[in-house]
Amino acid sequence: MVKISASLTLGLTTLATGFLMAACSSTTYTTDGGNTNSTTSPTSSNNTGLKIGSLLPTTGDLASIGQQMAAAVPLLVETVNACGGVNGQPVTLVAVDDQTDPKAGAAGMTKLATVDKVAGVVGSFASSVSTAAVSIAAQNNVMLISPGSTSPKFTELAQKGDFKGFWARTVPPDSYQGPALAELAIKKGYKRVSTVVINNDYGVGFEKAFVQAFEKLGGTVVNKNNPVRYDPKATTFETEATAAFAGKPDAVLGVFYVETGSLLLKSAYQQGLTNGVQIMLTDGMKSDEFPAQVGKAADGKFIVSGVIGTVPGSDGKALEAFTKLWQSKKGGSPGEFAPQAWDAAALLVLAAQAAKDNTGVGVSSKIREVSNAPGVEVTDVCEGLKLLKEGKDINYQGASGNVDVDANGDVIGVYDVWTVQDDGKLKVIDKVTPKQ
């Protein structure tokens, strides 16, 4: 029977390492007899089992979404270990909370790479955290696969060779989502739109992609010359809300994270700015908790009732099986980005098996091979591992999509169009596939 146990990683002896441990919370999961206290690190490709990490936000601005993502990774590890592990040995997972903070993410990635000696990491969610982590991963030959960082900046840097092949993501970049949302705005008749975004790689990158696409479609960005960008660590947003809703726009596009975005929208409502203006949101706000965080109006309806937004959807061939597994193990349905997190972890273990090598170099060398044609199409990670052990090629078809990772580490996906109903519940009302 598979057993998962957790403990703080022990046995650290240096002051510098002690600081890293203080800077980031981590948990080790194993299915090898529950022994999580060993700090022995893999030094050989096959003499020790595959060790992977996760670097995801279980606290901070994106915690409500990150907790679902973080839960998908140990579920994948448990599944893999139940069917024999990778290269004949169990997989070990070290989970780190990046706190939705680049500094904590950098500390966590440093610990995973230099102390835990992981071969690959599922993370991060926030593009700003992945930006802080990816250079550390690449320097230490650790494969980093993000299930949620959508900034187009990663594509640009990958094209320059900055990541040396140690970067990929199972979510499409905002160079696709921005145009998809622009098309949605035009379709809805919103010709004058203003933007307000979180001032980091995610917010600014999305803003750029949207503005370019919206103007190309004939729309006008009201505040293009004076963009409204807020500090990720801000706690009050009156000035930003006023500026975003000025100029009589038909709609306001908000590229936020849940905690700060909820405060900004609440401030806009309290100032009487939201009447008659459509609010459009993105994947960073697609959380069941956010309508209640913004609050209710005097008539009892939720303030954000009627907002519309986009979010990377999941339409992969493995989605049904993943959803059933999630329901059997955890109850309910997996939240946004949980399928992407599952797929990221799946690619790490499949690549290690394909390489017959439990190192980051080995994993990196096979990520594209196991995720693309040619090869036998597989939706079950255990079936994929079995075929790879037999020396066959595979083409993994994920829960989030076909996860065909390209030379820049990117995938193409589908987007769900969602809204908030009067009762505060979020509902997907349509799908949109970005034009390529």
Tens of pLDDT along 334-374? 988 999 999 999 999 999 999 999 999 999 999 999 999 99
pTM for this model (two decimals):
0.86
Tens of pLDDT along 157-205? 999 999 999 999 999 999 999 999 999 999 999 999 999 999 999 999 9
Tens of pLDDT along 371-389? 999 999 999 999 999 999 9
Which H/E stretch holds residue 360?
Answer: helix 360-371
Domains of the chain are 15-171+337-396 (3.40.50.2300), 174-313+414-432 (3.40.50.2300)
The contacts of residue 315 (CB under 8 Å, 6+ apart) are: 400, 401, 414, 431
Q: Check if the beta carbon of residue 343 is closer than 8 Å to that of residue 398.
A: yes
**CA–CA separation, 62 vs 66, rounded Å?**
6
| Predicted confidence (pLDDT) at residue 40 exceeds the cutoff of 50 | no
Q: Which residue matches tokens 């905690």? A: 259
- pLDDT, position 298: 87
**CA–CA separation, 155 vs 168, rounded Å?**
9
Tens of pLDDT along 253-268? 999 999 999 999 999 9
| Predicted confidence (pLDDT) at residue 44 exceeds the cutoff of 50 | no
| Predicted confidence (pLDDT) at residue 245 exceeds the cutoff of 90 | yes
- pLDDT, position 151: 94
- pLDDT, position 21: 42
- pLDDT, position 414: 83
Q: Check if the beta carbon of residue 129 is closer than 8 Å to that of residue 135.
A: no
**CA–CA separation, 349 vs 369, rounded Å?**
13
- Mean pLDDT within 19-43: 42
| Predicted confidence (pLDDT) at residue 229 exceeds the cutoff of 90 | yes
Q: Is 225 exposed, middle or buried (0-12, 13-18, 19+ CB in 10 A)?
A: exposed
| Predicted confidence (pLDDT) at residue 436 exceeds the cutoff of 80 | no
- Mean pLDDT within 303-320: 95
Least confident span in 3-7, 127-131, 194-198, 245-249? 3-7
- Say what the alpha-carbon torsion angle 159, 343, 378, 164 is, to the nearest 10 degrees: 30
The contacts of residue 159 (CB under 8 Å, 6+ apart) are: 408
Whole-number Cα distances in Å, 48 to 42, 51, 119? 6, 9, 11
Q: Check if the beta carbon of residue 129 is closer than 8 Å to that of residue 55.
A: yes
